[in-house]
Every structure is written in structure tokens, then in C-alpha cells.
Chain A
Amino acid sequence: MHRCPRALPNLLVLSILAGLATTTPTAAVAPPAVIAEGLLRDAGGRPTSGTLLLNLIDPDATSPAAPLLAMGTAGANGRFRLRLDPSPQLSAVAARQAGFLNMRLLAVSADAKGVAMLSRRWDGKRWAPNAGPPQIDLTASAALTAVQRGELDRLRAAGTAAEQRAARGRPSVEVTGATLAGASAIGSDNPYCLRVNDRFLTAYTVIGELHTWRDMTATFGYGTSADSDISAGFSFDGGKTWSLGGQLHVGNATSTRSTKTVSANYYGRTIRSQFEYVKYHYAGWFCYDDTVYQSPWRWTGGGIIEGTSQAQFDGKCGRTYPKVYLYGRNTTWSRTDNDFWNWSAAASVLGLSLKAQSGASSSADLTYTFGSATSYHRICGSDDYPARATRVFAGP
């Protein structure tokens, strides 16, 4: 990163000037960055108060602990906001997932609970959303048991004590920082959960698509780190019925980079690669959740195979898709670091149809090589010019 050399003497004078500028009160400690905010509703859709618990989902953790990262409350208007600055440990977890953290947000109202899954990337100063709206609309609809209500009361007490401790050192802090292995900054009252993996399974999942027309070759590159946001699901009835709960980022590193190159004319298909998924639940004292979850876990690093035909989108550049790039002969063009299409029915796991989107980081790229048989070549974007489009088609 570019850093300009500092003019130290100037800064010294500036410091004095700043000291003289006494109109501004002493700077307050900035609160931690907002990692999740939104609205909690009851089963009838009305805003409701409740407690929010944010737990880490770490596929590479050697411990089954699911650390509580943040805890907060929604007022009577249902609004909530959770704040968290990543500790060095959390930063290390994120580094293994291309900068992303995956989390479960559990909301508990007076008599019901709701779940959302979310993924955030720390860009050094703030949490960046990777998929979906930054506002979380969460419905607490699953009834609580008497035992759970008792556990919640104890958890609230622990959280309140922690917030009071935190508030003494960091004003406006609504949540606590996190450490791993269950030793949360909530302290000796730490409520922690253990993640119990019930079952691992694999499924080919759509990572992108390739389209060609005459005299061109298209290549989709994926890895060496995975780069997909894939739906996670949850079930309140032990796995009989599933609901989508948001998309989690899969960014694990592998030793291989997979590519799929198509030289054939008039090709248009989705491409898929194999991912591992896990079905799990939480257990342990203070865990307070009997929901069953399924999450994308990791990319296996395997090869890329063909999926369903998408050729119906080609040959329509200019008319249906007016954002066209033209290239001359013997040209290679590549792009990276931009979201591709968010595919519905990208995979089916435990009967739940998942969405998947690649390209949030720089590990998924698209390359076109144009030949010399024709003097110029066209590709077009579905929603923007091909450098930014979520889908890139080929043809006249």
C-alpha cells in the first residue's frame, strides 16, 4: 500500500496547532465497527424486542467451540445493531477464508427465536457486506421451550454484566470482543456453545458459466482459494423442513487452481465444482439453541465440470444485451475481482435448493482469447459492460 513519507516537523507544528484548536472536545474512543444491524420481528411481522447472539462459524477450527462474538438487544421497535472489532485471533480466522468471517445470528424474543447466517469481510476499517442487504430482517417465529427461556435469562444476565464491564472501558460498546476456544471476553460468565457436526456431504455447486461464439476461447479460473458465497440453511424441526438463512463465504485455500477452458464454438453452460457441506447443531451448557443447521464448509479443490445449458443467452449481443465490447484479432482479455451471477438452484443439499455466487474476492476470473479467423469479436454483459457484468455472453 502506498504510504507517503511523513513530514515530521510539519506534524509537530500541526500537533501544536491542533492543541490550540480547543473548540473540539477531547476525542472519544471510536466504537467498534457495526457488523450486523437490522430489524427483529415476531411471527406476525411486528417489530419485537429481543436478544441477539452472534457466533462464529469457523470451518478450520480445531476446537468445536463456537465462540460468541457479539451480543446485543433489540428494543421495542425491533431495531438492533451489533458491533465488533476483530481481535488478532479473529483476523487470523478471517485470513484463512480470504478475509471473510462466517457467523450465525440467533435472535430470541420473549417467546420465540429466529436465525440468520451472514458473512462479512473486514477491510481494515469496517465490515463489508459480501452478499445480500446489509440490513438483516429477522423473524423470531420458532417457539421457545421453558428450559430455553431459563437459559436465556441466565445468558442475558451474563451479557449485561459483560456489557457493564465493557462500558467502563469503552463507551457505547454494545458487544464484547471475542477470543477463540470459548474464552470469550464476556468473561467468567462466558456462555459458549460447542458445534457438533452431524454429517458431512459433498455436492457439485455452480461456480460460474462460460459462453463462446465463433473464433474464441473462454476460460474460467477458480482458486487457489475458493471464492463463493453459498446459501446456508436451518431447520427448527430437527431437519425435516429447511429454510434458507443467508449466504456464507467459502474462501478456503487449496493447493490447486482449477480452470475450465472451452474452445468449441457456440458453447453456453454453467460450470460446477465440488464443495463440502456440513449438517450440525449446537450443544453445551448455555448453548441455548436446538436448531439444526447446514452450511457450505469448504471447496474440495477438485476439477470443474459442465452444468446446464445457457446457450439461449448467446448470439444476442447488441439487441437483447446492448452493453457490448468489441475486440480485434489475436487478443486475450481477462477480468477478476468482480461478482458473477448469483445462481439459484446452484446445488441441492439435504433437499434444500441453494444459491451460489462467485467472484467476491480475486480468486475467480474470466478470460477470453479471440482468434484471427474473424476481424473482430463481440462479448456482452447481462447488466453492464463485460468488465463489470455479473454474466458475460458471446456472439453477435
Chain B
Amino acid sequence: MKLRITLPAGVAVVAIGVAMVADAFVDVRTSGGPLAEEVPPNAVTFSVRPGVSFTYGGVQLHPDAAAGSLTLEQAQLEGATDGLRIVNAFVLPVAQTDGGLWFSYERFPPPRLPRASLRPLEGFTLGAGAVQVLLELGVHQAGTYEFSAVSVAYRAGGLRYRATYPFALRVCASSGMTRTCPPLELSSSALARGLPEVVVVGRRPGPRSIAVERARHGRPEQEEQCPDERCQRPPAHV
């Protein structure tokens, strides 16, 4: 998606005022960021073993070729249950995934996908082709674990973004490998009509310098100055 300066000159003066008053600056407004797109929610549920890492591959990144290259920084689980963690985050060019994308599997890596074919997400430069984000996840203890969304932080054009995907997961961990894990309800608040959220972060991010755009249909719905760290964590999709 092409970056689009949306502020007229007068409002640009206001933006400068923000920087002066808030002792920080936000130096861009965009129409959502190169990875912003409307994505429908989905959810997956399966059973795992404590201490055995497992696979989640629901997120695909579709860069806009016109936006140029961008560099991935970090994947995060939003609304994650304590104890559910990312062991490793990888990317896999979709063009190299002959036979399909592993959406989920009870171990990591999944069958017929050698670790050598995976590249670390952090620092990966995304060109024109789509990639799958393949997460190696783990839990240490028996129990039920969930997340409500996955976010990917990245840099493009000297700016930092975070794209959030309303893709939920629930795993039931037990040493006996329980066969049943109650599926997530798609109508739950975590999944209701989610749309990607893009958080645009200035070059010097700080608690008082975060501009938040909630991108709906690829367009900003609001732009507000956020005075504290509450804006840094995307809300649950309601």
C-alpha cells in the first residue's frame, strides 16, 4: 500500500505542536502501513504436550510491491495466556511451500518441513513475495492456553509499524495428549468482526509519542495522541 500523507498543511503545523508539547514526535501519518489489509478472523484449537513445542502458521504477510522492501522485527501473541510463549519465530516464503502451508501441528517443525528451510523472522527483509509466519510455540505445564491475535512488528521506509491479525488459538496441554480440546467460539469477543490494526510508531517511540490508527478497510478511523502506554497494546477485538 502506498504511503499517503493525509494531513494538509495546517494540520501539519498541529503535528509539530504535538511534538513540542508532548516532548516527542510523530513524523508520519499513513493510510495503514504496507502490510495493512482486511483479514477475516479465524480460530484454531488442538491438543499439545507440555514441554513439546508446537506449530502455528496462520499468518501470511502480503507485502505491497509498490511499498518497497520492509524488515520484520518481531512477532507477538496478543491476549496470550500466561505460560504460552513464542519459542522461535520463522518465516517461510510461500512460493517455497510446495504441498501447502502448515496451519497447525502438535510438534515443531511439522512433517516434511526441515528447520533448514526456515528463516528467522527477526531481521528478515520482505520483498515482493508473500511469506508465511511460522511460530514455534511452547507451554511448560498442563492446562488450556489461548491467544486472541498475532501481531508482527516491522520497519518500512524508516518507520516502524505493527500489524495485528485477529487469528486466535487455543491449545489444551496435557501429558496424556488429551483428544478433546473445546473449540473457540467464533462469536466470542476476541474474534467478533476483527480487522487488522496497524500501530504507527514514530522513530523515537516512547510512552507519550505513540500515534494510533485503527485501520478499517485500509483507512484510518482515528488519530489520537496517546498519553500513556495503554495505547501500545492493541485492544481485544470487540
Contacts and interface: CB of A to CB of B under 8 A. Distances in A.
Interface of A: 1-7, 9-11, 13-14, 17-18, 20-24, 123-125, 128, 221, 317-318, 323-338, 361-362, 365, 367, 369, 372, 375-376, 378, 380, 385, 387-388
Contacts, number: 176
Contacts of B228: 5
| Residue from B55, B104, B184, B228 with most neighbouring chain A CB atoms (10 Å) | B104
A2 B39 contact: no
B186 A334 contact: yes
Contact of A20 (B13, B60, B100): B13
B118 to A, nearest CB: 15
Contact of B111 (A4, A5, A221, A375): A375
B183 A332 contact: yes
Given A2-B214, A17-B13, A372 B221 contact: no
A193 B51 CA distance: 70
| Residue from B11, B41, B192 with most neighbouring chain A CB atoms (10 Å) | B41
A327 B191 contact: no
A102 B52 CA distance: 53
Interface stretch (B68-76, B83-91, B230-238): B230-238
Contact of A10 (B8, B225, B235): B225
Nearest to A361: B193
B216 A123 contact: yes
A296 B39 CA distance: 28
Given A1-B238, A334-B183, A336-B42, A18 B104 contact: no
Given A1-B214, A125-B221, 12 more contacts: A2-B234, A7-B225, A17-B13, A24-B9, A24-B10, A318-B99, A326-B105, A326-B110, A330-B47, A331-B46, A333-B44, A362-B186
B218 to A, nearest CB: 12
B95 to A, nearest CB: 11
A89 B104 CA distance: 46
Interface in B182-234: 183-184, 186-187, 191-194, 197, 208, 212, 214, 216-217, 221-222, 224-228, 230-231, 234
20 contacts: A2-B214, A124-B221, A324-B101, A326-B99, A326-B103, A327-B44, A328-B107, A329-B47, A330-B46, A331-B44, A332-B44, A332-B183, A333-B104, A335-B41, A335-B43, A337-B194, A365-B186, A369-B183, A375-B111, A388-B39
B122 interface: no
A179 to B, nearest CB: 28
A4 B231 CA distance: 6
How many chain B residues sit at the interface, stated as a range, is 35 or more
B17 interface: yes
A23 B217 contact: no
A328 B46 contact: yes
Contacts of A387: 39-40, 42, 58, 167
Contacts of A338: 40
Contacts of B60: 385
A376 B111 contact: yes
Nearest to B210: A4
B96 interface: no
A362 B44 contact: no
A20 B12 CA distance: 12
B217 A328 contact: no
A338 to B, nearest CB: 4
B142 interface: no
A380 B100 contact: yes
A1 B194 CA distance: 11
A228 to B, nearest CB: 17
Given A23-B9, A328-B105, A385-B101, A14 B41 contact: no
Nearest to B45: A332
| Residue from A10, A123, A318, A330 with most neighbouring chain B CB atoms (10 Å) | A330
B42 to A, nearest CB: 4
A284 to B, nearest CB: 38
B22 A333 contact: no
Shortest 7 CB-CB contacts between residues of A and residues of B:
A324-B100, A24-B10, A338-B40, A4-B226, A17-B17, A21-B10, A2-B235
A328 B100 contact: no
B192 A362 contact: yes
Nearest to A12: B21
A337 B224 CA distance: 28
A128 B195 CA distance: 15
Contacts of B16: 17
B181 interface: yes
A331 B230 contact: no
B14 interface: yes
B104 to A, nearest CB: 6
B100 A337 contact: no
B75 to A, nearest CB: 17
Contact of A4 (B44, B100, B186, B212): B212
Contacts of A2: 197, 212, 214, 231, 234-235
Interface in B144-169: 167
Contacts of B8: 24
B18 interface: yes
A33 to B, nearest CB: 13
A186 to B, nearest CB: 31
Contacts of B47: 329-330
A327 B104 contact: yes
Contacts of B222: 3
A383 to B, nearest CB: 14
A382 B235 CA distance: 33
A334 B43 contact: yes
Nearest to A367: B183
A334 B184 contact: yes
